[in-house]
């Protein structure tokens, strides 16, 4: 049967109003565009139509389709006349609600969905108030789905949204549909934590209270929440969030639709990475020399304290989790006072990689997360998407489901929720491998000559790996929309530039409508801005402090001591400082050492702007005013009976405000308006000058990157790894390692136990088995952790997560090697007990 050639767009009439949409747009979407919300349960734009709930029935009065049809299942065609208010359709929808309500329990008062429940809305708006079904109600036993998702199966209306998301969109394989007919059950094989790191989305998707948010269970109604749009800070992707807070405490985060970034979904790290804002140990009071004081006094003391120092001896350390305003204020302060350039990244390699990635980005090349879903061949270099930016993994799966090839070139055992082809190399070999691949991809391209000649020499490769790399190269060259993803967390400084260069040249091949994309992963939510701002080197700063060349240090929203592998050295160095001021909202040992502590606000209280890895400027709104959570102010079981104009614990101020006021006290010149400020601070983001971003953000990158065609690549020599030695690498994990979310009580309590990774070959040599407890002799002392052995991992490496529960700081520096044979398993009796256990007592 041949189908009619489809028109690009068609005109149809819905409830007497005409609309032009692309042909085959579901009628339900076309109606929504007119502002007509056709009731639905199973339909969801991100999941597509399956016609299971039969709730979106409308009457087709004229055109190619006639009669009562489901508006989600019918694609728009020219000449359709649709009535959503036709009595037949309304009666049917009313009947559907009655059927669904026949077994729905009478528990709205104790249901967390009450108040934003789709079923409640449709039941009430449809006028179903009297129960005609006299039979008994069906019940189900619930399952424990882990710490995040509460299951109350009685309320299920079998829309299949959860299972469709979980299995099809997220690639999860441990939650699905059981049984048949009216006994159909949504759950797991047996109770237990949902394995997918995207499981939280089924809470947003569930149209009733079957799947609800467990952490906020029974705590607030939607109408009582202070809600506002925000941005996720747990990686560089900048996914949209909606924050819901009550009684000065974040209750829950939900995904906020941002079609070009995260779409409808977010990962669980983003969803449950809150709670650091209401930790009991959060600094809330300004302190000078350990004594609590008021804001003005602390600032004055800091300004006074800074005056004696000559400008060159004052240093600032910033963080990539700060908002753009803070970074701009920090940069402005350094510039105006003539202080040393601020330091943003934890080491020189990361700074180099981030800066080279930022330099390779431009508006015509950068790819958004949505672009990942559109690409047909995706090369992932030196990135572990699930660990570093989980939503990227979801986008890769979306691409793979549409038939895209995902090619992963990395040294880690990257676990992806989709089919992917993998090649593993040691990190220092990746540039060489990329070079081989690029040669295959760009063979015979004259304009690529400069680029190709700048590439490092490929390492010695096995014939089959070389062949695979060549094939990959060819596939990239032939692809309609090739896309290169490159991580920075583990990459050599030149690698992102090489990857970006490859993407740029792929874009410039044969025909016009071909495009290519480059998507780097950057450290932190404002990593791009920090990388563009440049800045100093943290190791050099440490040396200068030790040598007395820097005597005053201001640390703004950066946790030096728990992010560095050399905390002892840092602590010693900090003691030499004449002045240490810390402005942060996270508790850290740094605060104890500080002379001046300025408590800052979290993103939930301060809001601010963030620029994600594609240069998209997005705004987080302040959602609630700071203060001790109501629950912590209770007296005799109830809130105190006080009338006060401000809440207790409301002293924290936005870091940018602290810095601006400090600048004022230090006699800085007049300040321009905020946007001019920001634009001036980040010349690499020209789009900032255009002012506030719209709801879904706006790209601020320059359209073309000058000189990005031929990246200047400094050849890096691979470190000498003696035989039978393992290079210790610090890696990210999906849960428990990222700076902010590892302090989120929910994730800290439920993150899987930290493990170390070893390639199967190495494990075999050392005689170590999967799951064994391992004693790793680190320079700073032994470290104990459970071992995982991987087949698909580059040999010669020992991967150690940056998990605060693991005392990885005993590493004492980067580039550490351990002797393979000195690793040994420890017996069961030695296991978790003993003073040297790995697990730190972190709440």
**Binding of other proteins by 283 (CB under 8 A):** no
Whole-number CA gyration radius for the chain: 28
**Binding of other proteins by 140 (CB under 8 A):** yes
Spatial neighbors of 10 by CB under 8 A, at least 6 apart, are 20, 21, 22, 23, 76, 77, 78, 79, 80
Nearest CB to other proteins, comparing residues 246 and 412:
246
- Taking CB under 8 A as the criterion, the residue among 63, 176, 686, 813 binding other proteins is 176
| Rounded Cα gap, residues 612 and 697, in angstroms | 10
**Binding of other proteins by 781 (CB under 8 A):** no
Nearest CB to other proteins, comparing residues 219 and 422:
219
- Taking CB under 8 A as the criterion, the residue among 53, 80, 231, 479 binding other proteins is 53
**Binding of other proteins by 43 (CB under 8 A):** no
**Minimal distance in Å, beta carbon 178 to other proteins?**
5
Decide: 325 and 608 in contact? Cβ < 8 Å: yes
Q: What sections of 508-582 are H helices per DSSP?
A: 527-533, 538-547, 560-563, 567-576
| Rounded Cα gap, residues 219 and 305, in angstroms | 46
| Rounded Cα gap, residues 347 and 305, in angstroms | 28
Decide: 774 and 824 in contact? Cβ < 8 Å: yes
- Taking CB under 8 A as the criterion, the residue among 71, 120, 123, 154 binding other proteins is 154
Q: Which of 207, 193, 239 is nearest to 123 (CA)?
A: 207
Phi, psi of 149, deg, nearest 5? -115, 125
Q: In what order do the strands lie in the sheet with 67-70?
A: 17-22, 9-14, 81-83, 57-62, 67-70
**Binding of other proteins by 219 (CB under 8 A):** yes
For strands 755-759 and 797-801, give the pairing: antiparallel
**Binding of other proteins by 191 (CB under 8 A):** no
* Contacting other proteins within 435-474 (CB under 8 A): none
Q: Which of 279, 217, 267, 262 is nearest to 604 (CA)?
A: 279
Nearest CB to other proteins, comparing residues 296 and 631:
631
Decide: 577 and 199 in contact? Cβ < 8 Å: no
**Binding of other proteins by 312 (CB under 8 A):** no
* Contacting other proteins within 229-248 (CB under 8 A): 247
**Binding of other proteins by 817 (CB under 8 A):** no
**CB count in 10 Å sphere of residue 280:** 11
DSSP 167: I
- Taking CB under 8 A as the criterion, the residue among 15, 121, 174, 470 binding other proteins is 174
* Contacting other proteins within 87-116 (CB under 8 A): 91-92, 95-96, 98-100, 102-103, 105-110, 114-115
Decide: 317 and 554 in contact? Cβ < 8 Å: yes
- Taking CB under 8 A as the criterion, the residue among 280, 338, 548, 639 binding other proteins is 639
**Minimal distance in Å, beta carbon 100 to other proteins?**
6
**Binding of other proteins by 344 (CB under 8 A):** no
Give the DSSP H/E element, type plus range, for residue 405.
strand 405-410
For strands 240-246 and 226-231, give the pairing: antiparallel
CA distances from 195 to 166, 272, 645, 734 (A): 10, 15, 46, 12
Nearest CB to other proteins, comparing residues 30 and 593:
30
Nearest CB to other proteins, comparing residues 77 and 269:
77
Nearest CB to other proteins, comparing residues 134 and 510:
134
**Minimal distance in Å, beta carbon 734 to other proteins?**
19
**Minimal distance in Å, beta carbon 464 to other proteins?**
24
Nearest CB to other proteins, comparing residues 338 and 631:
631
DSSP 766: H
- Taking CB under 8 A as the criterion, the residue among 9, 125, 179, 704 binding other proteins is 179
**Binding of other proteins by 182 (CB under 8 A):** yes
- Taking CB under 8 A as the criterion, the residue among 19, 68, 680, 761 binding other proteins is 68
* Contacting other proteins within 572-631 (CB under 8 A): 630-631
Burial degree of 552 (CB within 10 A; 0-12, 13-18, 19+)? buried
For strands 596-599 and 579-584, give the pairing: parallel
Interacting span for other proteins (CB under 8 A) from 68-76, 325-333, 417-425, 816-824 = 68-76
Nearest CB to other proteins, comparing residues 172 and 305:
172
- Taking CB under 8 A as the criterion, the residue among 175, 344, 425, 481 binding other proteins is 175
**Minimal distance in Å, beta carbon 259 to other proteins?**
23
| Rounded Cα gap, residues 808 and 796, in angstroms | 19
- How many Å separate Cα 24 from the centre of its chain? 33
Spatial neighbors of 817 by CB under 8 A, at least 6 apart, are 721, 722, 725, 726, 727, 728
**Minimal distance in Å, beta carbon 292 to other proteins?**
28
Interacting span for other proteins (CB under 8 A) from 180-188, 298-306, 672-680, 726-734 = 180-188
**Binding of other proteins by 251 (CB under 8 A):** no
**Binding of other proteins by 336 (CB under 8 A):** no
| Rounded Cα gap, residues 696 and 189, in angstroms | 39
- Taking CB under 8 A as the criterion, the residue among 23, 34, 46, 52 binding other proteins is 52
Written as six digits, the tokens of 610 are 């963030």
Nearest CB to other proteins, comparing residues 446 and 638:
638
**Minimal distance in Å, beta carbon 263 to other proteins?**
22
* Contacting other proteins within 6-25 (CB under 8 A): 24
**Binding of other proteins by 294 (CB under 8 A):** no
| Rounded Cα gap, residues 518 and 533, in angstroms | 21
**Minimal distance in Å, beta carbon 269 to other proteins?**
23
* Contacting other proteins within 366-385 (CB under 8 A): none
Nearest CB to other proteins, comparing residues 199 and 499:
199
Spatial neighbors of 450 by CB under 8 A, at least 6 apart, are 709, 710
* Contacting other proteins within 506-525 (CB under 8 A): none
**Minimal distance in Å, beta carbon 627 to other proteins?**
15
Give the angle 530-348-585 at the CA atoms, nearest 5°. Answer: 50
* Contacting other proteins within 528-547 (CB under 8 A): none
- Taking CB under 8 A as the criterion, the residue among 17, 33, 217, 715 binding other proteins is 217
């Amino acid at each position: 049967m041949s189908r009619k050639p489809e028109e690009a767009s068609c005109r149809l009439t819905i409830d007497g109003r005409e609309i032009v949409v692309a042909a085959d747009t579901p009628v339900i979407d076309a109606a929504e565009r007119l502002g007509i919300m056709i009731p639905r349960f199973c339909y969801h734009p991100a999941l597509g139509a399956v016609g299971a709930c039969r709730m979106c029935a409308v009457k087709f009065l004229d055109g190619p389709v006639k009669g009562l049809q489901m508006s989600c299942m019918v694609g728009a065609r020219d000449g359709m006349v649709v009535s959503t208010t036709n009595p037949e359709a309304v009666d049917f929808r009313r009947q559907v609600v009655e059927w669904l309500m026949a077994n729905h329990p009478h528990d709205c008062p104790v249901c967390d969905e009450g108040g934003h429940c789709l079923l409640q809305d449709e039941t009430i708006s449809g006028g179903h108030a009297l129960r005609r079904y006299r039979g008994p109600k069906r019940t189900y036993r619930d399952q424990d789905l882990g710490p995040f998702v509460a299951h109350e199966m009685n309320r299920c209306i079998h829309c299949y949204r959860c299972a469709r998301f979980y299995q099809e969109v997220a690639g999860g394989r441990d939650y699905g549909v059981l049984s048949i007919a009216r006994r159909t059950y949504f759950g797991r094989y047996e109770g237990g934590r949902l394995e997918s790191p995207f499981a939280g989305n089924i809470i947003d998707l569930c149209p009733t209270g079957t799947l609800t948010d467990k952490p906020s269970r029974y705590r607030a109604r939607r109408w009582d929440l202070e809600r506002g749009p925000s941005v996720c800070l747990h990686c560089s992707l900048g996914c949209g969030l909606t924050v819901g807070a009550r009684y000065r405490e974040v209750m829950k985060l939900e995904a906020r639709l941002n079609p070009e970034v995260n779409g409808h979904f977010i990962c669980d790290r983003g969803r449950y990475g809150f709670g650091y804002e209401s930790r009991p140990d959060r600094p809330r009071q300004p302190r000078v020399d350990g004594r609590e004081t008021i804001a003005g006094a602390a600032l004055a003391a800091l300004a006074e304290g800074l005056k004696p120092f000559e400008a060159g001896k004052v240093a600032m350390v910033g963080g990539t989790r700060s908002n753009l305003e803070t970074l701009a204020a920090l940069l402005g302060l350094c510039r105006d006072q003539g202080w040393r350039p601020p330091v943003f990244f934890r080491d020189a390699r990361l700074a180099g990689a981030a800066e080279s990635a930022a330099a390779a980005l431009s508006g015509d090349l950068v790819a958004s997360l949505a672009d990942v879903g559109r690409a047909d061949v995706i090369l992932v270099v030196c990135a572990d998407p699930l660990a570093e930016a989980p939503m990227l993994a979801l986008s890769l799966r979306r691409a793979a489901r549409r038939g895209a090839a995902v090619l992963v070139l990395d040294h880690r055992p990257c676990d992806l929720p989709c089919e992917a082809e993998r090649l593993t190399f040691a990190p220092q070999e990746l540039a060489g491998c990329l070079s081989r691949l690029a040669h295959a991809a760009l063979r015979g391209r004259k304009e690529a000559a400069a680029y190709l000649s700048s590439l490092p020499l490929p390492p010695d490769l096995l014939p089959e790996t070389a062949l695979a790399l060549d094939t990959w190269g060819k596939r990239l060259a032939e692809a309609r929309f090739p896309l290169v993803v490159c991580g920075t967390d583990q990459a050599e400084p030149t690698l992102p530039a090489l990857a970006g260069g490859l993407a740029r040249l792929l874009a410039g091949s044969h025909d016009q409508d071909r495009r290519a994309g480059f998507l780097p992963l950057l450290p932190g939510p404002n990593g791009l801005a920090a990388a563009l701002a440049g800045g100093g080197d943290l190791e050099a700063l440490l040396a200068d402090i030790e040598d007395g060349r820097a005597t005053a240090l201001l640390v703004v929203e950066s946790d030096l001591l728990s992010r560095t592998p050399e905390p002892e050295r840092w602590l010693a160095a900090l003691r030499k400082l004449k002045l240490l001021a810390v402005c942060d909202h996270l508790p850290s040992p740094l605060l104890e050492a500080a002379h001046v502590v300025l408590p800052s606000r979290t993103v939930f209280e301060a809001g601010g702007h963030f620029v994600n890895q594609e240069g998209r400027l997005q705004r987080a709104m302040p959602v609630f005013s700071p203060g001790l959570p109501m629950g912590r102010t209770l007296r005799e079981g109830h809130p105190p009976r006080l009338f006060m104009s401000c809440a207790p614990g409301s002293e924290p101020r936005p870091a940018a405000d602290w810095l601006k006021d400090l600048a004022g006290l230090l006699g800085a010149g007049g300040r321009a308006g905020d946007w001019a400020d920001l634009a001036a601070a980040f010349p690499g983001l020209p789009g900032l000058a255009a002012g506030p971003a719209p709801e879904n953000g706006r790209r601020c990158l320059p359209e073309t990157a000058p000189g990005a065609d031929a990246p200047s690549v400094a050849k890096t020599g691979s470190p000498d790894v003696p035989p039978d030695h393992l290079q210790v690498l610090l890696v990210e994990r999906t849960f428990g390692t990222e700076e902010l979310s590892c302090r989120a009580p929910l994730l800290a309590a439920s993150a899987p136990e930290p493990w170390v990774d070893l390639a199967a070959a190495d494990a075999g040599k050392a005689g170590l088995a999967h799951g064994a407890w391992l004693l790793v002799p680190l320079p700073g002392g032994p470290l104990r952790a459970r071992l995982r052995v991987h087949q698909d991992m580059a040999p010669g490496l020992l991967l150690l997560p940056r998990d605060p529960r693991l005392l990885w700081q005993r590493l004492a520096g980067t580039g550490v090697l351990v002797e393979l044979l000195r690793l040994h398993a420890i017996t069961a009796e030695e296991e978790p007990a003993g003073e040297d256990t790995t697990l730190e007592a972190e709440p």
